[in-house]
Structure 1
């Protein structure tokens, strides 16, 4: 009986061992497959060689602009106007008034134009006539005058240019009063002019300058004996 049991145990053990060996022989080892998508062997996203420019001969490549040319001013259908600072304009006017306070009455008249009639004296001449010429001695800005002789209007409106212009006046015996009346003060003011009076031989009888406000006159008298 014991011999039978021992024989059975040996056979069972042998079957178990053989089953384990058989199982090892039937196992299949699967080798790792190398992926074609390996990052190290993947194709570069960019070409490894530069593009041959010869293939682009007929293609115009636009140039790069390194800066943007933006308009400096916005377009407007209306004319542009520049407005000054009201504070600065007020300050300039105050300074101008203070400067005027520092000037004498004569200096102020020369700067802003005399508001009283100017008398340049009387001169003697035995000639038959005199030539009277005048011009704007300052900036030509549209100054205009009227010329009167013995209160008669000889030239009603004369534009003062940079060159001399004038008229011939026949002298009467006694006083010959010549008035130059300022009709305006031009664009910059005052009415500025230079005049000369010469006799019939070309000798200068009188010459002077004026700075007049509008409506003010300058007078010179030629006395014929």
Structure 2
């Protein structure tokens, strides 16, 4: 009987102690306020780049927007062009060797006559003649000078592919016409074809020349 009473008392005391512990725990508990949704997005937490201009006293270089390269390389001799001396020498050697294989007539035909050419004298009783000329080869800038009885009547004539010329009133006796090669164009030699036609349309003379620079071709028209 005594043991039963003691057990009842011990059980009651245990329940009392456990209830006290639970009450104390409820009193000491901390309630955290609810976290409000932040309006900031994850991107807003990303570190914003700093301007280099304000970073520890270092300034960024200024960029010039209008950059342009020089149009032409600098040269102390802007208008002068230099060729390869070795290449020029080889070309001259090859030219000389090639000329050795040709006859003198072929060399003259290729390089132009180095002596004055005389195409003969012709008689005509016409009041005048038309003297015309053209470049019979490749039009490469051949220029001539025209003289009549040693007087310069056309100082510089650029030869084209078509005939052009002048009217010459014949005087009694000799009427000497000289064609002087002032250059050899870009390909050389100075090449031309000429015609002399009287006032009735008759052909008095016709011929061609291949001249070196400074060489002349001559024709004489004689009137009684």
| TM-score between both structures, scaled by the size of structure 2 | 0.60
1:162 maps onto 2:161 in alignment: yes
**Residue aligned with 1:185, SS:** coil
2:112 and 2:152 mapped to 1: Cα distance?
23
Give the corresponding residue for 2:202.
Answer: 203
1:86 and 1:181 mapped to 2: Cα distance?
32
State the Cα distance separating 1:203 from its structure 2 match: 0.7
2:145 and 2:88 mapped to 1: Cα distance?
35
State the Cα distance separating 1:77 from its structure 2 match: 7.0
State the Cα distance separating 1:165 from its structure 2 match: 0.3
After superposition, where does 1:1-225 map in structure 2 within 5 Å? 92-225=91-224
1:172 and 1:132 mapped to 2: Cα distance?
15
Structure 2 residue runs without a partner (length 5+):
1-69, 74-82
**Residue aligned with 1:126, SS:** coil
**CA 1:209–1:171 in 2, change beyond 3 Å: closer, same or farther?**
same
State the Cα distance separating 1:104 from its structure 2 match: 2.0
State the Cα distance separating 1:138 from its structure 2 match: 0.6
2:149 and 2:86 mapped to 1: Cα distance?
51
**CA 1:127–1:85 in 2, change beyond 3 Å: closer, same or farther?**
closer
Deviations 1:77-109 (A, max 9, x none): 769xxxx99887765543321110122222211
Give the corresponding residue for 1:20.
Answer: none
Deviations 1:58-84 (A, max 9, x none): xxxxxxxxxxxxxxxxxx9769xxxx9
Deviations 1:120-169 (A, max 9, x none): 00011110000000000011111101100000111111000000000000
**CA 1:130–1:98 in 2, change beyond 3 Å: closer, same or farther?**
same
1:150 and 1:172 mapped to 2: Cα distance?
11
Deviations 1:192-215 (A, max 9, x none): 100000011111100000011111
**CA 1:97–1:159 in 2, change beyond 3 Å: closer, same or farther?**
same
1:93 and 1:190 mapped to 2: Cα distance?
16
| TM-score between both structures, scaled by the size of structure 1 | 0.60
1:150 and 1:201 mapped to 2: Cα distance?
23
1:124 and 1:103 mapped to 2: Cα distance?
37
Q: Pairwise CA RMSD of aligned residues?
A: 2.3
2:86 and 2:146 mapped to 1: Cα distance?
44
Structure 1 residue runs without a partner (length 5+):
1-75
**Residue aligned with 1:202, SS:** coil
1:89 and 1:146 mapped to 2: Cα distance?
30
